[in-house]
Chain A
Amino acid sequence: MGLLAPTVAILLGLILYPFFYAIWLAFSDKTIGNPGQFVGFRNFAYVIAWPQFSAAVTNTVVFTVCAVAIKFVLGMAVALVLNQQIRGRNFFRAFLLLPWVMPAFVVYLVWRWLYDPLAGLINYALMDLGIIGGPIAFLSDRSTAMASVIVAHAWRNFPFYAISFLAGMQTISQELYDSAQVDGASRVQQFRHITLPSLYHIIGVVLLLTTIQTANAFEPVYLLTGGGPSDATMVYTMLVYVMGMVNLRLGEAAAVATLFLPLLIGGVLIVTIMLQRKANA
């Protein structure tokens, strides 16, 4: 049992204690250098009434739902293609994994440069193709900022979906497809009635893990837009950072994080229940 001691120390000292400390902070008026006193629900009342908070709720939901949907569809399409008999399959599998292997911060810096309004590739290419007349400030225009952040995030993370789905597809017996083909089932029918049902378990695990990760994403927003323009991409993690580390209002920062926890856990529960129903149906 002594073997477990270091892990227990880490779990209690660096996870459980900070967790309760964060909840206490949410009920206190602590700032850096001042011990802080219990103030009841004042931080929560203040935070909820703030327009930035409702922007963060909407943005986090929009970001999570859109990003997960794009990553899912793209990952599934890539897995289906890589599961065909193609030449050089191992090479393409390794190559299409590259965005996910590269450090996330590198990917977002590269995309920030691609989106650059003055010298970025995307603006040059779109203007050369005659699609746009003048450069677009993708990351500082309210109408394009969120979509641009979502695209960069999806580019970096779709390979995880692709390799997970591909691993699942490779365990499906070829005989199932052969006999379906003899019975005259089309490719689409084969996908719906053989491939998809065989993947339910993997789809469930992947969606569960990545929905949590996506909702908690910080780097894409921090590195691409910093939450702007005028809060158009302000997700909740960014709001916690700005409140805690820029405005140094620790109580309100903790209150935002605490308010989002039930939302996250609720979201996870809904996904789990939906998947179990689907699997049992």
Chain B
Amino acid sequence: MRDPLPIRALTYGLLAVFVLMVAVPLFWMLTTALKTNKALYEDFSYLPTSPTFEHFVRVVEREDLLRNIWNSFAVASTVTAVTVFVSAFAAFSIVRYRYRGREWVGRFILFKYLLPTAMLFVPLYAIVVALGLGNTLKSLMLTYLTITVPFCTWMLMGYFRAIPAELEEHAMVDGCTKIGALFRILLPLSAPGIVASAIFSFTLSWNEFLLALVFTSDHTTMTTPIKLSMMVVGDQYIWGQLMAGAILASVPITILYFIGQRFVVQGLSAGAVKG
């Protein structure tokens, strides 16, 4: 049944408003990066008149932004690899073994959700300095686990619960060890959950701001968000380069998201409903 005309008009009218609302800032980010400084600060125009890539060249050559992007990448991929293993083991242990206190881990993860980073960053900073990790990428790799591991453990618990234990029991009857059953049965069957937790860990680490701001203090250890935010205060006429940098920082994460989109949506519902 098709909708009556006024409803359709309203639907498409609202849709146009929403699309415009989302498109304008994105359009402005893209075109700012392509305009010359003269076009940005003297002759205002809505469309770029003589597009140029000079801001991209400058942000890479003068600001050495690739260094910071590489830092972000190193931190995010390390955190992701560690998180997936650690969370899969933890979720497996909680869901499949019976022992006292295991339900406390689940409760603690919820409690963690209530604990703001604003409360933890001062003590974490003290710990990082005490471990001799001040101003290193390792400090970020270590502390980001406090964000990713509880979240991914929680999500994977939802996935593992949905898979009947009989499958692993059969495999064990056939001579597989319990850990073997984890790797051969449970992990392949919950591959969407693993992919979702990997995407979450990578994205959270790539985007994290507060801890990176507190822990790192020079160009060689800064991740992309901190480097770009430092550039804002540095120069009045920085916006072309800044938007070029913003595009470089967004592209990998946006591609990653759209590749793994369906797993992420499933992952959200698995954690929320089955958890």
Contact = CB atoms under 8 A, between A and B. Distances in A.
Nearest to B153: A7
A194 to B, nearest CB: 16
A212 B108 CA distance: 17
B118 A6 contact: no
Interface string B21-62: 111111011001000000011001000000000000000000
B235 to A, nearest CB: 13
Contact of A6 (B7, B15, B28, B90): B90
Contacts of B23: 95
Q: Is the interface of B mostly helix, strand, loop or mixed?
A: helix
Contacts of A265: 114
Nearest to B129: A32
A29 to B, nearest CB: 14
Contacts of A254: 119, 122-123
B228 A8 contact: no
Interface in A217-246: 218-219, 222-223, 236-237, 240-241, 244-245
Interface string A55-83: 00000000000000000000001100100
Contacts, number: 221
A15 B146 contact: yes
A94 B264 CA distance: 13
Given A86-B11, A96-B19, A212 B114 contact: yes
B21 A155 contact: yes
Contacts of A212: 113-114, 116
Contacts of B142: 14
A260 to B, nearest CB: 8
B115 interface: yes
A105 B28 contact: no
Contact of B229 (A105, A118, A261): A105
A99 B29 CA distance: 12
A147 interface: no
A77 B22 CA distance: 14
Interface string B103-129: 001001100111111111111101100
Contact of B209 (A14, A96, A110, A219): A219
Contact of B239 (A4, A119, A241): A119
Contacts of A218: 117-118, 209-210
Interface residues of B, number: 83
A14 B146 contact: yes
B265 A10 contact: no
A96 B118 contact: no
B22 A110 contact: no
A124 interface: yes
Contacts of A106: 29, 228, 246, 249-250
B120 A103 contact: no
A11 B112 contact: yes
Contacts of A215: 116
Interface stretch (B164-172, B184-192, B251-259): B251-259
Contacts of A167: 265, 269
Closest 3 pairs between A and B when the two form their complex, measured CB to CB: A18-B123, A7-B90, A21-B123
Interface of A: 1, 3-4, 6-8, 10-11, 14-19, 21-22, 25, 77-78, 81, 84-86, 92, 94-96, 98-99, 101-107, 109-114, 116, 118-119, 121, 124, 155, 163-164, 167, 178, 187, 205, 209, 212, 215-216, 218-219, 222-223, 236-237, 240-241, 244-245, 250, 253-254, 257-258, 260-261, 264-265, 268
Given A4-B90, A17-B127, 18 more contacts: A3-B89, A7-B153, A15-B112, A22-B122, A81-B15, A96-B19, A101-B257, A102-B253, A103-B225, A103-B253, A109-B228, A114-B25, A155-B22, A205-B272, A218-B210, A222-B213, A236-B118, A260-B116
14 contacts: A11-B109, A22-B120, A81-B11, A84-B7, A86-B12, A106-B29, A110-B28, A119-B44, A167-B269, A212-B113, A212-B114, A237-B116, A254-B122, A261-B115
